[in-house]
Structure 1
């Protein structure tokens, strides 16, 4: 496919996303209907679409319309491309540009929420939460997230994995701050089909998500419950670093559908629990609550989620977070730990939740509270560790 044809396809896909269809589903359906498109074409189109979603407001402003055409055109303008080379109207290229297209205002003249691609509903909260780092972090959110993998330390050494990946043309760089974290610097799209991945040597996991687990106390002698396990990334990381037993639970068990297979591949036993079984297995020496949140720290990887946010949905999430903390606290043994994590940048989902919990649960004391900035390479993350005191 020519660059122009790729842009035309990205426009078509983006329009469907703007009308409410899920990006991954639209991209999958497009690929099925366009078998002639090679892997490099699909990858390039995917990048165009996701770059557009990350920078939806600013690109639409540059392109003159909140449409697929306007967003893709705005992205090309931002890159300094010559629109006349793409919008020719010939063959499979987009229709020719009109005299009024590509004449959008300079970004510097637009409101900050547009310039930094921030939803209006969360603009004030983000600015208050991030303070002096607001602009830098919002700019980071406009770019693609690096890909990180976690070495399965229970079975493999980091040098061994680096060499195995390199044999398949995948280049990685070790992180200086998080042991067993590798940034993929070349051929990231090959990772999931690599022998290292299929053998359980590595798992794809964001750097900050790995850092959160690394910040927790030694769990070697602990029975640990991942209370909001989701896909199980943190359950697997906990099991790999060592624990007497790791249990996984989620309010929606379907989210854990792949966890058993992933744990088997990694060679790390994890017991999945439904809600009815929790009290029978408890109490636990550590309960991890990776709660549902705005996901504002992970908008680079899930830009669709950024544009779904509302004040009402945020209020509902904070209620759910408080309820999860209350329920999880009952499962912690005396002297044990309750860990609370989010991939959020917002104070109302982070520090405010911990302050409210501690005010209402005087038998818990804070041991650790830390934020991980997107400026360090990973997602924006927050972790708080609390210990249950003796009566």
Structure 2
């Protein structure tokens, strides 16, 4: 596909998304209907679509309309390119520009939805503008080295055999930032043989901050794909890892992932007894991950957020009930909004004086990874 044809394809996909279709679904439908598009074309169209969604409001303002065409025009202008060189109408390129197209201006902070901006500003304070700006750019790709199978140096070397360049982070050497050829990862020997797992830096830092010791019973209460369980599996010997999720289907890949990693995780639909550590990585707005899933920030509503707050509070209390005296409870979100983070912890501690907070972290994209929150509580 020519660059102009890729722009036309992105316009088609974006118009479907703006009409209400989820981004991944719209991209999949376009891909299935476009057998002529190679893997490079599909990747390029995906990048165009996600770049436009990250900067939806500002690119629409630059391009003159909140349409797929307006977003593509605005994106080219924002990148310092003349959209007229691609909007030619030749071949499969989009039609030429009209006189009133491409004459707007925009503020990058507008790419946080208007209704959530007050919450954003209150939650992030003097970092609000900088984090909003960071959310307009593509997130880096991070890997976690599986210490059960490899050292960081060994993982870097095996990745290099597949021409994937990665470097350790000085804060956590088992966290590798991918510098080149990230799209080869899932087919690489390091990934397929369980030496590395895809996991963002922030949750890796959160898991590294947990008080994990030999022989402990650990409950991953909202396990999903099991990323937290797998991250702590190599931190101590003899761990008993129990994974639970209200929707068991979300854990369907966990047995395969655990086998690949060389660790054992027990899946339990109704965990009982007490645990030394319970992890509650609760459903949330995902506001910390909006540069990876930019469609989500435009689909979130005030009603959605209110419903999530109720779910989070209920899960926090259920997970707390499984913590033994002297044990720990880790409350986590991939959000940067105070209502989902410190607000939930304050309300919980107000209701249950048997717990106290011993550590609290909020990471943002300014730290290199996604936005992520951890409150580590101890039961007296």
State the TM-score bracket (shorter-chain normalisation): over 0.9
Q: Secondary structure at the match of 1:293?
A: coil
How big is the shift at 1:115?
3.6
Q: Secondary structure at the match of 1:48?
A: helix
Instruction: Specify every segment of 5 or more residues in structure 2 that has no aligned partner in the other structure, as ranges.
Output: none
Q: How is 1:205-224 mapped onto 2 (pairs within 5 angstroms)?
A: 205-224=199-218
> Over residues 275-301 of structure 1, what are the superposed CA-to-partner deviations in whole Å (9 max), with x where a residue is unaligned?
xx312xx21111000011111111011
**TM-score normalized by the length of structure 2:** 0.97
**Aligned equivalent of 2:54:** 54
**CA–CA distance in 2 between the matches of 1:244 and 1:232?**
15
**CA–CA distance in 1 between the matches of 2:78 and 2:214?**
51
**Aligned equivalent of 2:321:** 330
> Over residues 88-131 of structure 1, what are the superposed CA-to-partner deviations in whole Å (9 max), with x where a residue is unaligned?
11110001111111112x225xxxxx644011121000001111
**Aligned equivalent of 2:257:** 262
How big is the shift at 1:335?
1.1
> Over residues 250-277 of structure 1, what are the superposed CA-to-partner deviations in whole Å (9 max), with x where a residue is unaligned?
1111111111111111111001110xx3
**CA–CA distance in 2 between the matches of 1:273 and 1:329?**
17
How big is the shift at 1:26?
1.9
Instruction: Specify every segment of 5 or more residues in structure 1 that has no aligned partner in the other structure, as ranges.
Output: 109-113
Q: Secondary structure at the match of 2:184?
A: helix
**Aligned equivalent of 1:12:** 12
**CA–CA distance in 1 between the matches of 2:164 and 2:134?**
25
- Aligned CA-pair RMSD: 1.1
**CA–CA distance in 2 between the matches of 1:315 and 1:29?**
32
**CA–CA distance in 1 between the matches of 2:134 and 2:367?**
10
8 Å CA contact 2:285–2:335 kept in 1: the answer is yes
Q: How is 1:1-391 mapped onto 2 (pairs within 5 angstroms)?
A: 1-104=1-104, 106-108=105-107, 115-242=109-236, 244-274=239-269, 277-279=270-272, 282-389=273-380
8 Å CA contact 1:62–1:74 kept in 2: the answer is yes
How big is the shift at 1:28?
2.0
8 Å CA contact 1:170–1:184 kept in 2: the answer is yes
How big is the shift at 1:80?
1.4
Moved beyond 3 Å, runs of 4+? none
8 Å CA contact 2:59–2:106 kept in 1: the answer is no
**CA–CA distance in 1 between the matches of 2:364 and 2:102?**
35
8 Å CA contact 1:57–1:115 kept in 2: the answer is no
- Alignment coverage as a number of residue pairs: 379
How big is the shift at 1:219?
3.1
How big is the shift at 1:239?
1.4
**CA–CA distance in 2 between the matches of 1:100 and 1:213?**
52
Range that drifts further, 309-318 or 178-187 = 309-318
